[in-house]
């Protein structure tokens, strides 16, 4: 039975964009319409909510978008929403538009905003994990992670070609903010000689030992994958230190950057976005709120915002062991 308190739902995308967000928006809109609910798009995330940039969506509004990267609702980071005054404006706009539930798509910043707003105004909100970083607990994968990893992997394969041609050592920096999920998956898939991630410190001495072993094994080229950490560009300093220690290496670096966020979402992210979008609407209908919908071991789960934000998602250490094993000779 439809919860009669939910008649109009708003949806926004916030923070960094991720491939598969449009598939998610499409699923939210069409599921809401299926249950005879009105659905409203909010442009530019929480900032658009504050500025009343809200419009009604129809089934036609989301036609031919499932294959597109980015987000048709646009995205932004809102400092104003972090203030009580900003959240008050947002609540007034939702009230004036008779919107009585909200779906937010984004990462931990988006969930933090949803938690604060929902608690402050007792407003029904369900979050959907949309971030290439894959750093949210409460789901095995986040929307965008799979596509971003494959984009990184394709670049690594291309770099490997030129590394082999010139007997070069390449340092390739991938995104992931303060987590190494993309680095590990793309590193193993790309046959990297070493993978440097924020969760496990690797000293220059350790890295040097790995490269020295490669020289002894007569490797014609080497690729080191570096997760960006808190800020982009740390790869340059690491490459510089290795060059100073091993002057015989023809050393290069490549920072992949935002190409990992864009592009056509692959089938995995289209599927994930579609399922989570539909289940977010159905969760609101069932009376769920202040939680994020995710998939763990192929089961739909709804996890409270507080639990997600207070739980750090762990890297699988077995993946690191296998990566080291496969590159050791």
What mean pLDDT, rounded, does the chain reach? 92
Name the domain count of the chain.
2
Neighbouring residues of 187: CB distance < 8 A, sequence distance ≥ 6: 156, 195, 225, 323
* Mean pLDDT value of segment 292-319: 96
Q: Is residue 237 part of a domain?
A: yes
Q: What is the pTM of this model?
A: 0.94
pLDDT of residue 211: 82
Catalytic residues: 133
Q: Per-residue pLDDT for 2 more than 50?
A: no
Domain that holds residue 158: 146-261
Q: Do residue 135 and residue 195 come from a single domain?
A: no
pLDDT of residue 32: 98
What is the share, in percent, of the chain residues with pLDDT greater than 70? Answer: 95
Q: What is the pLDDT of residues 19-39, one digit of tens each?
A: 999 999 999 999 999 999 999
Q: Is residue 326 part of a domain?
A: no
Sheet of strand 291-296: strand arrangement: 54-57, 38-42, 8-13, 101-106, 125-129, 291-296, 299-304
User: Domain holding 281: CATH number?
Assistant: 3.40.50.450
Of 10 and 252, more confident: 10
Query: How many CB atoms are located within 10 Å of the residue 25 CB?
Result: 29
Q: Is residue 251 part of a domain?
A: yes
Q: Is residue 107 part of a domain?
A: yes
Which residue is it, tokens 């905003």?
113
Q: Do residue 74 and residue 223 come from a single domain?
A: no
Q: Per-residue pLDDT for 318 more than 50?
A: yes
Q: Do residue 116 and residue 197 come from a single domain?
A: no
Least confident residue range of 44-48, 180-184, 214-218: 214-218
Q: Which of 245, 261, 277 is the endpoint of a domain?
A: 261
Q: Is residue 316 part of a domain?
A: no
Where residue 210 falls among pLDDT bands split at 50, 70, 90? confident
Q: What is the pLDDT of residues 112-138, one digit of tens each?
A: 999 999 999 999 999 999 999 999 999
Q: Is residue 180 part of a domain?
A: yes
Q: Do residue 70 and residue 135 come from a single domain?
A: yes
User: Domain holding 176: CATH number?
Assistant: 3.40.50.460
Q: Do residue 85 and residue 172 come from a single domain?
A: no
Q: Is residue 329 part of a domain?
A: no
Q: What is the pLDDT of residues 38-86, one digit of tens each?
A: 999 999 999 999 999 999 999 999 999 999 999 999 998 899 999 999 9
């Amino acid at each position: 039975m439809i919860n009669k308190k939910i008649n109009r739902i708003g949806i926004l995308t916030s923070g960094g964009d991720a491939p598969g967000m449009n598939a998610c928006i499409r699923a939210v809109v069409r599921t809401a319409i299926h249950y005879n609910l009105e659905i409203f798009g909010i442009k530019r995330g929480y900032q658009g909510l504050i500025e009343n940039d809200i419009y009604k969506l129809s089934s036609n509004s989301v036609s031919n978008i499932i294959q597109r990267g980015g987000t048709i609702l646009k995205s932004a980071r809102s400092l104003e929403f972090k203030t009580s005054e900003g959240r008050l404006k947002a609540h007034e706009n939702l009230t004036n538009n008779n919107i009585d539930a909200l779906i937010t798509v984004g990462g931990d910043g988006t969930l933090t905003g949803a938690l604060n707003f929902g608690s402050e105004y007792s407003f029904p909100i369900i979050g959907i994990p949309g971030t290439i970083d894959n750093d949210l607990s409460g789901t095995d994968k986040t929307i965008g992670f799979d596509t971003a990893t494959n984009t990184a992997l394709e670049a690594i394969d291309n770099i490997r070609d030129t590394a082999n041609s010139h007997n070069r050592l390449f340092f390739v920096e991938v995104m992931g903010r303060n987590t190494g999920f993309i680095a590990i998956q793309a590193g193993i898939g790309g046959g990297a000689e070493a993978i440097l991630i924020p969760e496990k410190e690797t000293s220059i001495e350790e890295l040097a030992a790995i490269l020295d072993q490669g020289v002894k094994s007569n490797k014609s080229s080497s690729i080191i994958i570096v997760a960006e950490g808190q800020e982009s560009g740390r790869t340059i300093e690491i490459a510089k230190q290795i060059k100073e220690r091993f002057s015989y290496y023809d050393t290069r670096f490549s920072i992949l950057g935002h190409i990992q966020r864009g592009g056509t979402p692959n089938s995995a992210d289209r599927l994930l976005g579609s399922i989570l979008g539909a289940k977010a609407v159905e969760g609101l209908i069932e009376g769920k709120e202040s939680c994020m919908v995710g998939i763990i071991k192929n089961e739909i789960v709804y996890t409270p915002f507080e639990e997600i934000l207070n739980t750090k998602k762990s890297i699988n250490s077995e993946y690191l062991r296998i990566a080291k094993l496969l590159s050791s000779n």
